[in-house]
């Protein structure tokens, strides 16, 4: 691969990664897997399917718990479940501390039937396409005292914006099996049509058309018109253009647009390629500096001047005579491109883009906080809890559930 191209590509990717990691929260990220720190053990909360990374963190209950019952059994005990971290205290139900799966029978004390151990990491079953998680407990099983109770949660794919809840499906001796139909484990299929992006897993279409229209990026010389092109003739059909007086440099052609969605960051990523050629760089990735003094001349482009072989070179400071800093010009020139990261803020309205970074005059990255990419509230509510934990535990009654009554007591 051509070095300059590689470096430029890397620079762009690194910028995006960096930006995204700033958006990311305090969950530890190791080897591309997402882990959660619990007081006792750190467990991986994601699984690699061989094609995608499935991240189960959106399903973690940070403040409450999931309630599961056996629909076919009228006298089913209540099961309280959390994944990747132990249950939060449940008002009125005294589950053993540290349990992640707790069974509360009609009569008797709640018992621990599953904990987070180093083995409770999600596993992908390639035959069924399901993800499974096993929770061992330290509670001896009444049916066979040589065993402890164990719980298993099977996550199956069900598209939609509802994250689903677990159901108790069967008990096999000392093993309790739950099924959880959820979009989180569905393979993700993205379909772009014009300026909209359909995400199969969410069964939701992001439509960015409402954001089109010329905007000046504050504190920069960039103009942007997403889903359309900039009317200024200096910008020649670009969607992102850097203006310098009457002249413009294209940072991406309006037709060379692609859309992507990063579930972990809840970010819609729009990329424009095919802008004007990038400024020349050396084969080591340094930017050529023009104009630059070379002997008695002023250089304004790569030159073979002074070279015995006919190789193009350029100075990398503005005065070669003083600094003697130079490099061979990269032979293949890439085209300018830009990336816009859209994130949701319900109260931001249309919002406006801001420049996050510009790399070697060749690729620029913007962030645009807008209500146009907000997903339906039902989904948002649980996903947002990932990034911001609103701890309502202090509000929960420790003795019994709150009772609500209408204005007049009866």
Interface with ligand NAG (CB under 6 A), residue from 21, 73, 119, 209: 209
State residue 364 phi and psi, 5-degree precision: -125, 150
> Quick one: which of 152, 150, 161 has its CA closest to 180?
152
For CA atoms 248, 250, 253, 258, give the dihedral sign.
negative
Stretch that binds ligand NAG, among 320-328, 330-338, 340-348, 401-409 (CB under 6 A): 340-348
Is residue 117 a contact residue for ligand NAG (CB under 6 A)?
no
Please state, in angstroms and rounded to a whole number, the distance separating the CA atoms of residues 159 and 200: 7
Query: Could you tell me the smallest distance in angstroms from the CB atom of residue 388 to ligand NAG?
Result: 8
Show the tokens assigned to 337: 């491109």
Residues 123-142 that bind ligand NAG (CB under 6 A): 138
Residue 64, phi then psi, degrees to nearest 5? -115, -140
148 binds ligand NAG (CB under 6 A): yes
Give the range of 33-41, 69-77, 265-273, 342-350 binding ligand NAG by CB under 6 A: 342-350
d(CA 227, CA 212): 6
Does residue 259 sit in helix, strand or coil? strand
Q: Considering only CA atoms, which of 333, 337, 339 is closest in space to residue 287?
A: 333
Torsion from C-alpha of 290, 292, 298, 299, nearest 10 degrees: -50
Q: Quick check: 347 binds ligand NAG (CB under 6 A)?
A: yes
| CA 148 to mean position of chain CA atoms | 38
Answer for which of 11, 348, 356, 374 binds ligand NAG (CB under 6 A) is 348
Does position 345 interact with ligand NAG (CB under 6 A)? The reply is yes
* CB closer to ligand NAG, 67 vs 374: 374
**What is the total count of residues that contact ligand NAG (CB under 6 A)?**
16
Cβ closer to ligand NAG: 114 or 164? Answer: 114
Residue 118 touches ligand NAG, criterion: CB under 6 A: no
Q: How far is the CB of 339 from ligand NAG (least distance, A)?
A: 20
Question: What are the CA-CA distances from residue 35 to residues 130, 161, 167, 258 (Å)?
Answer: 20, 24, 25, 31
Nearer to ligand NAG, 148 or 317 (CB): 148
Angle at 404 between CA 403 and CA 409, to 5 degrees: 105
Q: 142 vs 146, which CB is nearer to ligand NAG? A: 146
Residue 9 CB neighbour total at 10 angstroms: 15
Task: Give 45 or 133: the residue with its C-beta nearer to ligand NAG.
Answer: 133
Using the contact rule CB under 6 A, the part of the chain among 16-24, 68-76, 84-92, 146-154 near ligand NAG is: 146-154
One residue of 205, 258, 300, 397 binding ligand NAG per CB under 6 A: 205
Task: Using the rule CB under 6 A, give the single segment among 20-28, 259-267, 307-315, 345-353 that binds ligand NAG.
Answer: 345-353
Strand ranges, E, within 21-91 = 28-30, 33-37, 42-44, 46-48, 53-55, 66-68, 78-81
Q: Which stretch binds ligand NAG (CB under 6 A): 21-29, 69-77, 344-352, 392-400?
A: 344-352
The answer to the question of residue 396 lying near ligand NAG (CB under 6 A) is no
The mark string for 222-261 relative to ligand NAG (x by CB under 6 A, - otherwise) is: --------------xx------------------------
Q: Which residue minimizes CB distance to ligand NAG?
A: 138
**Per rule CB under 6 A, is residue 196 in the interface with ligand NAG?**
yes
* Rounded least distance, CB 137 to ligand NAG, Å: 7
What's the chain's Rg over C-alpha atoms? 28
Which of the ranges 6-14, 16-24, 343-351, 391-399 carries the binding residues for ligand NAG, by CB under 6 A? 343-351
DSSP string, 322-350: HH--EEEBPSSPPBPEEEEEEEE-TTSTT
C-alpha distance from residue 339 to each of 88, 358, 368, 375 (Å): 40, 10, 10, 21
Instruction: Let me know if 374 is exposed, middle or buried by CB neighbors in 10 A (0-12, 13-18, 19+).
Output: middle
Tell me: does residue 63 bind ligand NAG (CB under 6 A): no
One of 127, 142, 146, 406 touching ligand NAG (CB under 6 A): 146
Stretch that binds ligand NAG, among 11-19, 50-58, 202-210, 296-304 (CB under 6 A): 202-210
Q: DSSP 3-state helix, strand, coil percentages of the chain (rounded to 5)?
A: 15, 40, 45
DSSP assignment of 170-214: EEETTEEEEEEEEGGGSPP-EEEETTEEEETTTTEEEE-GGG-S-
Contacting positions for ligand NAG (CB under 6 A): 138, 144, 146-148, 193, 196, 205, 207, 209-210, 236-237, 345, 347-348
């Amino acid at each position: 691969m051509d070095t300059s191209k590689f470096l430029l590509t890397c620079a762009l990717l690194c910028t995006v990664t960096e930006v995204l990691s700033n958006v990311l929260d305090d969950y530890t990220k190791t080897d591309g897997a997402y882990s959660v720190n619990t007081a006792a053990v750190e467990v991986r909360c994601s699984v690699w399917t061989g094609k995608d990374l499935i991240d189960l963190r959106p399903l973690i209950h940070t403040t409450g718990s999931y309630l599961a019952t056996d629909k076919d059994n009228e006298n089913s005990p209540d099961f309280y479940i959390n994944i990747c971290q132990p249950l939060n205290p449940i008002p009125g139900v005294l589950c053993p501390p540290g349990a992640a799966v707790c069974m509360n029978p009609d009569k008797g004390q709640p018992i621990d039937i599953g904990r987070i151990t180093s083995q409770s990491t999600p596993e992908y079953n390639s035959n069924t396409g399901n993800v499974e998680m096993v929770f061992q407990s330290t509670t001896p099983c009444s049916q066979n005292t040589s065993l402890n109770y164990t719980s298993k949660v099977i996550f199956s794919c069900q598209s939609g914006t509802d994250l689903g809840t677990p159901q108790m499906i069967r008990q096999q001796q000392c093993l309790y099996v739950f099924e959880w139909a959820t979009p989180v484990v569905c393979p993700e299929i993205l379909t772009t049509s014009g300026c909209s992006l359909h995400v199969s897993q969410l069964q939701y279409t992001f439509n960015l058309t409402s954001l089109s229209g010329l905007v000046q990026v504050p504190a920069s010389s960039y103009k942007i018109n997403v889903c359309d092109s900039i009317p200024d003739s200096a910008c020649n059909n670009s969607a992102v253009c850097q203006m310098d007086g009457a002249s413009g440099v294209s940072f991406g052609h309006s037709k060379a647009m692609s859309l992507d969605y990063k579930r972990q960051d809840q970010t819609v990523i729009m990329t424009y390629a095919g802008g004007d050629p990038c400024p020349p760089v050396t084969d080591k990735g340094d930017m050529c500096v023009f104009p630059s003094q070379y002997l008695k001349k002023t250089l304004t482009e790569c030159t073979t001047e002074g070279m015995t072989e006919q190789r193009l070179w350029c100075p990398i400071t503005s005065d070669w005579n003083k600094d003697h800093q130079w490099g061979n010009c990269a032979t293949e020139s890439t085209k300018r491109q830009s990336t816009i990261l859209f994130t949701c803020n319900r109260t931001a309205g249309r919002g406006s883009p801001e420049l996050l970074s510009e790399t070697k005059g060749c690729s620029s990255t913007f962030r645009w906080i807008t209500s146009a990419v907000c997903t339906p509230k039902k989904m948002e509510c649980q996903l947002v809890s990932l990034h911001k934990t609103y701890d309502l535990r202090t509000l929960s009654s420790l003795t019994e559930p709150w009772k609500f009554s209408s204005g007049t007591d009866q």
